[in-house]
Structure 1
């Protein structure tokens, strides 16, 4: 702490054996140093088996630009240009692109030459990444850049380099490992177009990006071609477990320039659908479509600075989404005869003598009850949603694809239905709705006030209270480790801890009761 106080805050505590955003803590003031140090060391020990950390000055407006290098056993080394990985959350890369937007040719060469010099200085052989922090407080032109670290492996984001150079970096690795020389000299490596990669994670942006576990019931995306590449190791039916990083896939696009690549990524995200658990698909779409991102106004604080735009507080479904959910629910019931006799009793289209059939559907949307009154008509439905009436017609319902007409305007979506749960992918939005059926939900009247359950399976690493302790609302109670990350469990209400049996090292399952707090009013 003495060194941190001397350097001046903010400082960054980093695990010496760390990587992938794990084992890092930003400390804004001296009073937070000890707790951040302890937390960082616990995570470092759990993730890497090494609790040693280092401290460095934290730049307030940095861009993270890294250079892909290759060295061979003959002492030669080259760089395959740079990647901008400034879009980060909790020091974990979210969006990567190549080349770095706005980087001048002179600065590109200076950073590339510095990276090659570093690789040659240690006689490096194989694929590696030299990571730099660029201080863009006064802009990118001639901005100072600082060596941060070297990753002695092929990075998660290496596909963007492959797309702008036309090179297979894994093949390069194998050839060099076999004792061959570098496949190309520095002046033979092309730089063509622009590429983006986004990391599709099983996590819930609305719940502090809590990692998600469970079965992927649906996973689809666009066909791969010159402009789109999908790297994934899972498919529909696979489980996302607590034992590995919750990344589902990497979506990579290429085009002749950055604007074209942005359009390709926007289309790719719009055509991707994941259901069965929550993911960051809409969050990624919001980044790609953000005006500041389009203008390449980037630094590592981008996500926090634009948090209100990227994660809007009002996430309730709009009336088009509710209309889509309603039509998806009613479509299977609006059918013709089920046999060739044209028996009118075989129709299930809602026909009634003298009067139109009316019904009401209720969807749970972020804990709100949303009611839709439906009137069956000869050629369409009349929907009444929160005082607004709209005529809706089903144009096409083919598998998960649904096209409807609302007031003369076509609205399309992918609707994934699992029992009474709906996941609706419409444009750049992802909505989760539950069709509420009174009497079939198993409602719990007491609400479980004061009962804290696990948000996911994991391991208890620290318990900060004991039975009988009086705690305040928001007070940290224990630390749970899951998905290689620490999650602090806090008191939801003020009161007394009762029946605590867990200790550090205990494994807990999803939904297990951690702590019961007897509220003050009880």
Structure 2
């Protein structure tokens, strides 16, 4: 076994690998960029070394600097995690040439499977099912148009290199092919340094099911069952589970044997995932799936496989890389129960999943399920990399129990300081189609209206917010009060009555608050909300003040390790600025004061601004050009995704302040419009 392991990655996967290495007595080395100098993975490592500036191309993608660090600190192995250099055959070869073990497959296997066109050809050779498509070297627009017409529409354009949903476009007709090709090639070139694409028939109502395989250097090869990764947004996986809903033994046998055939063809060793697309329009069939691609690395969703087989796949990776045989034979790998993983990301679902950054705040608690996280409270979440904060993994006796455990975790998870998708995921766990196992890659789009954040501030939320606003007002004049000592209009021998005014999102609210010895109620526009006084408790948290609203005195909730009566229904964070309400993972803000930046007198809709830091990929249009509301005016690349910035009104372009390739900051004005 190795003595010292360098982890050429960051965030939750770096912390995850360290956990296993520590258990095996292996010393760990972290690498970091300037954006991550105080990151959790740096704090948890035995040693840490700086690579360079924040941009990945100057730090985490610098294989030469990573190898130099490994040599300087005496590492005898490098684990690449996933993403970055994990599927870079040249880096794997450089590690081997330097006498340092690469914890992954051999370079030739990475090359064979790393390019989708080569992988498709290999799959065909061994008899694995492959969709009709085009993956030849000729990349002229005319040839691609001819092949698209032969394959038929709708079809997919896919980047030959890379993965993670980058460089993929759906094309409904020949008319949309040219623009989609341009966009896919541009994104592929930016993400992978290779703009080649392939075409593939689009499967309607598809399911994405993959097989975890593992090989060693002695020729042994096994599978560890399947995972269903059909719940996706913009081709980015959001929920993963094992086993796949509706899977039968006949289908599983056909699926896993196809995966093993492909892996044997390239003499695969270490961890890998063979991905397939299924026809999801009916029950799963042994002849109803086709090979997609192979990921020659550990996957983000590997914890659900670990949960159902009771094994540590990172330990297997390290042992295989050290030359050991696989710890178990196929017959010894047993599946128990069901597991589900949710990716908690720094994105705002209410604003088109716009990425978010900032300092993580919230309420720490003892989770009943597995949490793989790359951040602690008080850490700054950077805007430089992908949006993954942590993964929540629940394992139950069956799928319904696993989902219930996950939903309970999400409903009590409190994260502030940045926007997250926690509330969105919690609602997904209650979606009937999802509960019934009717999953496919378009489910989130179909259920978009149901999964959206609840509208507005209902009377009960207003009552909670008003209580918090009153507490915040007290903070301005003295010590933190008990909720029973609020300036709430209390009068001797009569019910208290008070009019409260505050700003929410996006409106200003005026409501009537009444209180007595037992409850506090709010009324607005004929609607009423009530909060019982005996369910309010106040707890200090990280220098701010937190009010916990409990709803069941028969249960005990853990708050920072201390037991409090009642399970938490909602949490109020109160400070001198205002109040933040967190309920079922969703966040509402109440402000005491507000400022409006309108110094130039323009309507806000006249300015197209950068929603977050990034690079301008392309600007469309020119000054004085007429535009329509919703028309794409610029494309911003940020946090590994392209974001289309559109006209907010009909009018004309008055001025353009940016050019293609320019780096911009959040809030920068990119284009200014003028009305018709």
Q: Alignment partner of 2:162: what SS?
A: strand
Out of 402, 407, 416, which is 2:573 matched to?
Answer: 416
CA separation of 1:519 and 1:419: change in aligned 2, threshold 3 A: farther
Deviation (angstroms), 1:223: 2.4
CA separation of 1:429 and 1:234: change in aligned 2, threshold 3 A: closer
Deviation (angstroms), 1:475: 1.9
Match status 1:403 vs 2:549: yes
Q: Which residue in 2 is equivalent to 1:310?
A: 451
Deviation (angstroms), 1:472: 2.4
CA separation of 1:78 and 1:421: change in aligned 2, threshold 3 A: farther
Deviation (angstroms), 1:402: 2.2
Match status 1:475 vs 2:631: yes
Q: Alignment partner of 1:51: what SS?
A: coil
Match status 1:32 vs 2:176: yes
Match status 1:328 vs 2:468: yes
In structure 2, what is the Cα distance between the partners aligned to 1:198 and 1:481? Answer: 25
CA separation of 1:449 and 1:150: change in aligned 2, threshold 3 A: closer
Q: Which residue in 2 is equivalent to 1:343?
A: none
The Cα offsets for residues 338-395 of structure 1, whole Å up to 9 and x where unpaired, read as 99xxxxxx99675557987654333434422222222454554343222235554432
Q: Which residue in 1 is equivalent to 2:260?
A: 116
CA separation of 1:105 and 1:401: change in aligned 2, threshold 3 A: farther
Match status 1:275 vs 2:416: yes
Higher helix share: 2
Out of 595, 598, 615, which is 1:441 matched to?
Answer: 595
Match status 1:370 vs 2:509: yes
CA separation of 1:103 and 1:351: change in aligned 2, threshold 3 A: closer
Q: Is the 2:230–2:440 contact (alpha carbons within 8 Å) kept by the matching residues of 1?
A: yes
Q: Which residue in 1 is equivalent to 2:384?
A: 243
CA separation of 1:394 and 1:460: change in aligned 2, threshold 3 A: same
CA separation of 1:311 and 1:389: change in aligned 2, threshold 3 A: closer
Aligned pairs for 1:59-70 (under 5 A) are: 59-70=203-214
Q: Which residue in 2 is equivalent to 1:360?
A: 499
In structure 2, what is the Cα distance between the partners aligned to 1:360 and 1:194? Answer: 51
Q: Is the 1:499–1:516 contact (alpha carbons within 8 Å) kept by the matching residues of 2?
A: yes
Out of 310, 317, 325, which is 1:173 matched to?
Answer: 317
The Cα offsets for residues 443-487 of structure 1, whole Å up to 9 and x where unpaired, read as 647542411211111111111122232222222211111111111
Q: Which residue in 1 is equivalent to 2:67?
A: none
Out of 55, 65, 80, which is 2:199 matched to?
Answer: 55
Q: Which residue in 1 is equivalent to 2:398?
A: 257
Q: Is the 2:469–2:578 contact (alpha carbons within 8 Å) kept by the matching residues of 1?
A: no
Q: Is the 2:582–2:588 contact (alpha carbons within 8 Å) kept by the matching residues of 1?
A: no
The Cα offsets for residues 164-204 of structure 1, whole Å up to 9 and x where unpaired, read as 00010000001110111111000000100100000001111
Q: Alignment partner of 1:370: what SS?
A: strand
Match status 1:78 vs 2:243: no
CA separation of 1:361 and 1:429: change in aligned 2, threshold 3 A: farther
CA separation of 1:423 and 1:17: change in aligned 2, threshold 3 A: farther
In structure 2, what is the Cα distance between the partners aligned to 1:44 and 1:418? Answer: 46
Q: Alignment partner of 2:229: what SS?
A: strand
Q: Alignment partner of 2:315: what SS?
A: helix
Match status 1:458 vs 2:614: yes
CA separation of 1:88 and 1:13: change in aligned 2, threshold 3 A: same
CA separation of 1:403 and 1:49: change in aligned 2, threshold 3 A: same
In structure 2, what is the Cα distance between the partners aligned to 1:216 and 1:512? Answer: 24
In structure 2, what is the Cα distance between the partners aligned to 1:334 and 1:421? Answer: 11
Q: Which residue in 1 is equivalent to 2:18?
A: none
The Cα offsets for residues 85-114 of structure 1, whole Å up to 9 and x where unpaired, read as 011111110100001121111211221122
Q: Is the 2:360–2:417 contact (alpha carbons within 8 Å) kept by the matching residues of 1?
A: yes
Q: Which residue in 1 is equivalent to 2:273?
A: 129
TM-score by length of 1: 0.90
Q: Which residue in 2 is equivalent to 1:182?
A: 326
The Cα offsets for residues 231-268 of structure 1, whole Å up to 9 and x where unpaired, read as 01012222222211011110000011111111111111
Q: Is the 2:547–2:574 contact (alpha carbons within 8 Å) kept by the matching residues of 1?
A: no
Aligned pairs for 1:82-101 (under 5 A) are: 82-101=226-245
Match status 1:164 vs 2:308: yes
Match status 1:425 vs 2:569: no
The Cα offsets for residues 293-329 of structure 1, whole Å up to 9 and x where unpaired, read as 11101111111122221226x5212222222222233
In structure 2, what is the Cα distance between the partners aligned to 1:389 and 1:105? Answer: 54
Q: Which moved more, 1:297-306 or 1:428-437?
A: 428-437
Q: Is the 2:231–2:441 contact (alpha carbons within 8 Å) kept by the matching residues of 1?
A: yes
Q: Is the 1:371–1:385 contact (alpha carbons within 8 Å) kept by the matching residues of 2?
A: yes
CA separation of 1:347 and 1:147: change in aligned 2, threshold 3 A: closer
Q: Alignment partner of 2:160: what SS?
A: strand
Q: Which residue in 2 is equivalent to 1:213?
A: 357
In structure 2, what is the Cα distance between the partners aligned to 1:246 and 1:269? Answer: 18
Q: Which residue in 2 is equivalent to 1:107?
A: 251
Higher strand share: 1
Deviation (angstroms), 1:221: 4.8
Match status 1:499 vs 2:655: yes
Q: Which moved more, 1:440-449 or 1:281-290?
A: 440-449
Q: Which moved more, 1:319-328 or 1:382-391?
A: 382-391
Q: Is the 1:392–1:405 contact (alpha carbons within 8 Å) kept by the matching residues of 2?
A: no
In structure 2, what is the Cα distance between the partners aligned to 1:372 and 1:118? Answer: 65
CA separation of 1:376 and 1:256: change in aligned 2, threshold 3 A: closer
Out of 485, 494, 508, which is 2:664 matched to?
Answer: 508
Q: Is the 1:324–1:402 contact (alpha carbons within 8 Å) kept by the matching residues of 2?
A: no
CA separation of 1:37 and 1:417: change in aligned 2, threshold 3 A: farther
Q: Is the 1:134–1:143 contact (alpha carbons within 8 Å) kept by the matching residues of 2?
A: no
